[in-house]
Structure 1
């Protein structure tokens, strides 16, 4: 445990609680354990594989937490079981952010919520409103057409839809939280359309599934995956952006349910994204963690911003591994009650959840590959689940299996690198 005199509060009183059981939830609780020596709690509807045989957190499996009444009741009961603890509540899933934020009045007597308000959540998580604010601030976004599904009342309306954009197109919901509950054949987190026929098939399926939200169509910004960037930020309750961390995406997941989520990141690149991201958060009067996705247009060198997620991302451990433990920022803010000087993460290391040789296979650009190999040889590599404090034989075997399983998945869904990452 860190030395007690590093803090003007009792670190052992902290109880971080994360709703979710994915890699990001484990990484967040790992950050708290590394910084403060405390075990947190992960709440999941199933036994989460990233937490197998963990020593750094307790796992509460509660069926039915997709029901907001069940989730809120579970959280209140958990808080009552830990009187006297300083309980911080977090999540890294949009649909849980919305639910927890909407029930703020019921939860605030029990937790310090590291979450934006419902109004702010709606303002920034809706990709249409995000683009509108970016335009106002002079931040570049892709050319976009918004398709409001209730306006497509029959097949003829789909066929007649005017889409004045150049293919290929990217298709995604304006609200990930709304999209979460919709199910249809071929559903993907992000859709890629090479032509009109593919687009119409998905729009017809969305309409048949009863999706009542807005579906965004965007012109594809050219370039491969290493042109993509990720930025993690924290804006505190005093209105100060205290954390900015960027990274170059080396490889994305390619399974339908995780398409577009980074699997490997080179930290410290694209620092020029920090200023516009901070400006956006200030303009939105945002509070909490935020995660931006953007891409450098190879034609102009300009950074084009796609969206901001109103939460910390699945890959948040890239920030902690780069020397800026993400747990410190909400604790300094909501527990110590102070703004801290802004930290900008610029250190270079390779964050990856895939085997090293698999990652190198998907890096055909010689200069970038050489950078990654050099960092690997220097030991500057981080895997969020490979935790020295969590090293039982059972767990090590489980993490190895989850890591090597990416070989099979990539060979099936993305067998060789392409110039576009598609």
Structure 2
């Protein structure tokens, strides 16, 4: 596919970048335009809450590729170029300044945005979120001067940041509306392990804690009030209560949206000239019995991108990659293969007391997902088990005498 409009990619994150790179790797010769709405080159987001906050990497180290890469591969990148409309009949997108850009095929890699905290005081200075480089810069600039932090939301980002803050001897309180950390993504045994590990590192938790307002003085946050009247003092409030898919652009253009931009098994919308990938796309996952699924993960964005690039290069195939995730929280590396939630049975392999073990999650008697802490070998085996649909009974998963790699070989 190559015409006067070429391929236009809206969104210059991991997925958008990978579409462009994979198109060239696959032999695409037409024009490629990558439109980003931030003023910086395409960069990685996962290190923002970890290595970037701790100073182990800088803004240059975050870049997905050096700027020379784009020129060498004839990929045009435009920064600060937010798209405000898709004109499907004319096959063009319109930028905020009014400019119209034609396309032969449009890839929506618009990602997601932080869910806002809908309480009074959420707009006070010192109430921050962590998704973009600019937000990470704002937090990093304050880490040396703060002594008390409240994290609203015990999800991945909130706990990654909490671990960074606690390691700097900052007092950290995590407020979570549910009854355990990372409840949306983890089994109860793994949630319990992470709660205990974070508490041992000095982090305090309050569960079932609904936030009703942010308190402040002179325009700056000074604490958080919960529904039971408790006030937790804070020099900084980090809000991490999930994300919302950036699907409004697609909806305004008449494309189907249902917790994300609805796509088929090849990540194509109902418009044959428009694909959607990554955090913003809801696709029929074979690991969710074909139900529309939206996954917020680098792996998902990258593999979506490769699938779309292959199709545009004349090699169409359904998207069937095994979902996997990771989260670094202090010395703990959590890796998840598959879609472990929901499940109806779990078994533990290894000793949680050692700090290195896995939880195998089953749904209807079949392996649905595997959660591993500091056990990369278990994680890699789990991905292959799930990809090959290789049966593994719960009692086998729990038995350390059974060699899982051998099971793979036998299968």
Q: Same fold (TM over 0.5)?
A: no
Q: Which has the higher strand share?
A: 2
Question: With CA pairs under 8 Å and 6+ residues apart, which has the higher RCO, 1 or 2?
Answer: 1
Report the structure number with the largest CA radius of gyration: 2
Q: Which has the higher helix share?
A: 1
How does the TM-score come out when normalised to structure 2? 0.31
